[in-house]
Amino acid sequence: MNINVTYSTNSSVSQAVTEIKDSLKGNNTNTIIYFASSNYSQDELSNSMQKSFSNAKVLGCSTAGEIISNKMLKNSIVAMGLSDEVISDAYVDVMDDIGDLEQVNTIFKSMEEYYGEKVIDMDNSKYFGMVIMDGMSGKEERVMERIGELTNIEFIGGSAGDDLKFKTTWVHAKGKAYSNAAIIAIFKSKAKFEVLKTQSFKTLDKILVATKVNEDNREVLEFNGKNAVEEYAQLLNTTVDNVASKFMTNPIGIDVDKENNEFFVRSPQQIIDGKIKFYCNILENMEVELLESTDIVEDTKEAVKRLEAEKRKVAGIINFHCILRTLELESKNQTKEYAEIFRDIPTIGFSSYGEAYIGHINQTSTMLVFYK
């Protein structure tokens, strides 16, 4: 089964793409997925990659750092080539205005025409979706919600980054680079696959109800009927002046399956005028739980070990990995240890401004796993 990965740290787009092409050409490659530092010229890169793999479906995005098998990199391009033994068909489209949700419906209609079947009826063991979104748009949750309404197949992906500049991110398809946009794709897979979602937190069993919110701005004004900042601080047994320092270790989560420690994390970003702004919206009257961080490296090791528990052999992984997790690994000098988990598995990934699986999530690693 042909899943091959490669990378280039060459700062020249043309030379980097040549290196990638030399590594991935042949092998009946029909799909190329790549993730690249925002420091490359994005239009030039997308154009060059599509021309170099003219017979393949090619998609990618800009990042806040790249991941390949046993390395976490910066200022590089990582790429994965998948052969026709893995992917039998793919439809890739561009939502060129991420705020126009009707484009999701239009794209899905096109997919139905292409595949000759309704997306709502597609077999979720044969098809998976991928979505890569502008990480500065603030609109990812609405796109994921609309996708989830229209189909039962699993969509995985993330939000493009820009090396922590927080100015402009880019998504790539059809030889172009787009901002304020999303790439939406459905793949027909010959290989068995699954989605692994892993977040390293445990619940503190403290409930917050978001009693007053500004959904569009991703702000919470009140929790439990009290000022959001004060209530957050009180539940963490700290002061209002100190609470922001705990945001990374103590985000909140939506309880989807508490028995299995399954939370959808919402990470607080900053305090603005007595409100807490998050990296994902929180609905009014939504009940969430206060979380505490555990060990990213150990949790990920266990999760990857479980993938092969039933004598299945992992053939490749695409890892949409939250930049906040990367920053935590960097602060603990654990990036090498984390990357080593994937040493023997053809893996690419990137540090993202949000992750996508069922919905928009924070501080999570969502991985698409292919099996031999």
Partner 1 sequence: MAGQIKQLIDKIVDARAKGNKVVEGSIKAKLCLKGIIVNKYTEFSQDDPVIIEKIRVIAKEFDVKL
**Under the rule (CB under 8 A), what is the footprint of partner 1?**
120, 124-125, 141, 145, 148-149, 152, 154, 254-258, 264, 283, 285-287, 358-359
C-alpha torsion angle, residues 44, 86, 144, 62 (rounded to 10):
-20
**Whether the Cβ atoms of residue 246 and residue 292 lie closer than 8 Å to each other:** no
Could you give the maximum distance between any two Cα atoms of the chain, in Å?
61
Nearer to partner 1, 215 or 340 (CB): 215
d(CA 183, CA 97): 11
Residue closer to partner 1, measured from CB, 45 or 213: 213
Closer residue to partner 1, CB minimum distance, 156 or 243: 156
Q: How far is the CB of 156 from partner 1 (least distance, A)?
A: 11
* CB of residue 206 to partner 1, shortest distance in Å: 15
C-beta of 142 vs 172, nearer to partner 1: 142
Sign of CA dihedral 136, 156, 255, 325: negative
CB closer to partner 1 out of 126 and 176: 126
Coil, helix or strand at residue 13: helix
CB of 66 to partner 1, least distance (A): 29
Smallest separation, CB 254 to partner 1 (Å): 5
Query: Closest separation between CB of residue 277 and partner 1, Å?
Result: 19
In the chain, alpha helices (H) = 13-24, 42-52, 102-115, 140-150, 228-235, 296-307, 323-331, 335-340
DSSP-derived letter for residue 250 is S
Cα(171)–Cα(175) distance, rounded to whole angstroms? 11
Min dist. Cβ of residue 124 to partner 1 (A): 6
- Count of residues making up the chain: 372
Between 22 and 287, name the residue whose CB sits nearer to partner 1: 287
User: Closest separation between CB of residue 198 and partner 1, Å?
Assistant: 15
Q: Which is nearer to partner 1, 244 or 303 (CB)?
A: 303
In the complex, the smallest distance separating the C-beta of residue 16 from partner 1, rounded to whole angstroms, is 37
Laid out side by side, the sheet with 127-133 consists of 87-95, 182-189, 127-133, 155-159, 355-357, 359-361
- Distance between CA 278 and CA 268 in Å, rounded? 4
Question: Nearer Cβ to partner 1, position 32 or 265?
Answer: 265
State how far the Cα of 284 lies from the Cα of 258, in Å rounded to an integer: 21
What are the backbone angles phi and psi of residue 248, rounded to the nearest 5°? Answer: -70, -35
